[in-house]
Amino acid sequence: FHGIVDYTELPLVSTDFNHDPHSAIVDGTQTRVSGAHLIKTLVWCDNEWGFANRMLDTTLAMAAIGFRFDA
């Protein structure tokens, strides 16, 4: 998930993630293991910016395999 999911342990707040190209940033300081089978995570995202970046990734991948957008 390189370039799609990121990880941080820095003391950041939501505005620090504005225009971050990742779809999700896992906050390692808020990740907890509860019992033997449950992991709780806090994940930050800039929903619109991350989505726009994934759409760009998809478009570039389609172009790389020869998909014609004018057809």
Residue 71 has pLDDT above 70, yes or no: no
Three-state SS letters, the chain: CCCCEEEECCCCCHHHHCCCCCCEEEEEEEEEEECCCEEEEEEECCHHHHHHHHHHHHHHHHHHCCCCCCC
Q: Per the structure, how many domains does the chain have? A: 1
Range of the domain at 10: 5-64
Burial class (CB in 10 A: 0-12, 13-18, 19+), 46: buried
CA–CA gap between residue 64 and residue 71 (Å, rounded): 16
Question: Is residue 45 in some structural domain?
Answer: yes
Question: Is residue 26 in some structural domain?
Answer: yes
Instruction: Give the pLDDT confidence of 2-22 residue by residue, as tens digits.
Output: 889 999 999 999 999 999 999
Question: Is residue 69 in some structural domain?
Answer: no
**pLDDT value at position 57?**
93
Question: Is residue 70 in some structural domain?
Answer: no
Instruction: Give the pLDDT confidence of 32-57 residue by residue, as tens digits.
Output: 999 999 999 999 999 899 999 999 99
Question: Is residue 71 in some structural domain?
Answer: no
